[in-house]
C-alpha cells in the first residue's frame, strides 16, 4: 500500500511541475494530497467520488485560505491525475476573506532600509519596497533582467506565469551597482552562501532583522502600492507595476491609504 501511495504522489508532483506550478505550491498540494490518501487508506485506483466528497465535507479547515488550498489540491488530483470527470463533487470555493493589508510607515521604511550597511540586504529590501516585488520574484531575478540603460527591470514568469516591466529609479540603480561591485553575483542577481540562488527564508529573516520582528516581506509590497497611491500615482500604473490581472485587486489600496482618508471633508 505504501508503494502505491508513493507512486501516485510522484505522479501528482510530476503533473504539477508539468503545468508549471511553483515549488511552494507543489510542496503544499503534495502535503494535502498525502493527508487525503492516508485518510482513505485505499488504493488510488479504487478511489470513488464518495471518498472525495466525504473528505472535503469533514475536513477541519483552519482558514478560508487553507480551505481553498485543500480544495485545489484535491481537485487537481481528481481531474488532472486520476482523469475523473463529471462526478457530483462539490469543489466550490468559500467567499474570500476581505482583510485589509498591513502597511508600514513610509518614513520609517525609508530610514531603516537606507541605513542598512550590508549592501546585499539593502539591495534586496530596496527592490522589495520600490516595486512591491514578491519574494519569489526577487530571488528569481537574473543579472540580465536589469536594463540599466533603459532604467527598467524585467520580471520574468511572475505569479500567473506573466512577464512584466517595472521602472528603475536612479537611486535604486546606484544601490544595485554598489552591491554588484562588492558581491559580483553570477547569473542570478542574488546568490546564496552555498547556492547560486538566494532563498526566501533568508529574505524573511532579513526584514525581521532590519524592519521589525513581526514584519514580513509581503508588507513591503503592500506598503509600496499604498505609498505610490498616496503620492498621486494612478491605479492603472500601480496595477501594471504590481502585475495584477484585475484592477479590483489594485483597488484595495484605496481603502488602506490613511493619507487619502485624512483629506476627506466629512459633513460635520
Q: What are the phi and psi torsion angles at 183 (to 5°)?
A: -95, -20
Grid coordinates standing for 263? 483629506
Distance CA 75, CA 91 (A): 7
Burial class (CB in 10 A: 0-12, 13-18, 19+), 83: exposed
Active-site pick, 84, 106, 159, 177: 159
Confirm whether 32 is a catalytic residue: no
Active-site pick, 15, 80, 218, 260: 218
Q: What is the dihedral of CA 238, 242, 243, 249, to 10 degrees?
A: -80
Distance CA 115, CA 129 (A): 14
Grid coordinates standing for 53? 466528497
Strand, coil or helix: 217: helix
Active-site pick, 121, 122, 227, 244: 244
CB distance 122 to 113 below 8 Å? yes
Confirm whether 244 is a catalytic residue: yes
Confirm whether 164 is a catalytic residue: no
Torsion sign (Cα): 113, 114, 117, 123: positive
Confirm whether 253 is a catalytic residue: yes
Active-site pick, 112, 122, 221, 222: 221
Distance CA 23, CA 16 (A): 9
Active-site pick, 134, 179, 188, 198: 134
Size of the chain, expressed as the number of residues it contains = 268
Strand, coil or helix: 177: helix
Residue 252 DSSP symbol: G
Q: Could you give the residue numbers annotated as active site?
A: 134, 159, 218, 221, 244, 253
Amino acid at each position: 500500500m505504501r508503494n502505491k501511495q508513493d507512486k501516485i504522489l510522484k505522479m501528482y508532483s510530476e503533473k504539477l511541475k508539468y503545468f508549471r506550478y511553483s515549488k511552494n505550491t507543489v510542496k503544499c498540494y503534495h502535503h494535502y494530497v498525502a493527508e487525503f490518501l492516508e485518510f482513505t487508506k485505499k488504493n488510488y485506483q479504487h478511489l470513488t467520488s464518495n471518498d472525495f466528497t466525504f473528505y472535503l465535507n469533514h475536513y477541519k479547515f483552519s482558514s478560508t485560505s487553507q480551505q481553498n488550498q485543500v480544495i485545489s489540491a484535491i481537485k487537481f488530483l481528481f481531474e488532472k491525475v486520476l482523469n475523473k470527470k463529471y462526478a457530483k463533487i462539490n469543489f466550490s470555493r468559500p467567499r474570500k476573506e476581505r482583510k485589509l493589508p498591513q502597511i508600514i510607515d513610509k518614513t520609517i521604511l525609508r530610514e531603516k532600509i537606507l541605513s542598512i550597511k550590508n549592501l546585499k540586504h539593502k539591495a534586496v529590501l530596496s527592490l522589495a519596497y520600490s516595486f512591491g516585488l514578491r519574494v519569489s520574484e526577487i530571488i528569481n531575478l537574473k543579472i540580465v533582467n536589469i536594463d540599466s540603460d533603459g532604467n527598467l527591470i524585467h520580471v520574468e514568469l511572475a505569479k500567473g506565469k506573466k512577464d512584466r516591466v517595472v521602472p528603475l529609479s536612479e537611486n535604486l540603480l546606484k544601490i544595485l551597482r554598489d552591491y554588484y561591485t562588492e558581491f559580483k553575483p553570477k547569473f542570478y542577481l542574488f546568490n546564496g552562501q552555498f547556492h547560486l540562488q538566494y532563498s526566501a527564508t533568508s529574505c524573511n529573516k532579513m526584514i525581521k532583522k532590519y524592519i521589525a520582528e513581526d514584519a514580513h516581506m509581503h508588507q513591503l509590497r503592500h506598503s509600496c502600492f499604498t505609498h505610490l497611491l498616496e503620492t498621486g500615482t494612478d491605479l492603472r500604473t500601480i496595477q501594471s507595476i504590481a502585475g495584477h490581472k484585475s484592477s479590483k485587486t489594485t483597488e484595495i489600496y484605496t481603502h488602506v491609504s490613511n493619507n487619502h482618508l485624512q483629506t476627506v471633508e466629512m459633513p460635520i
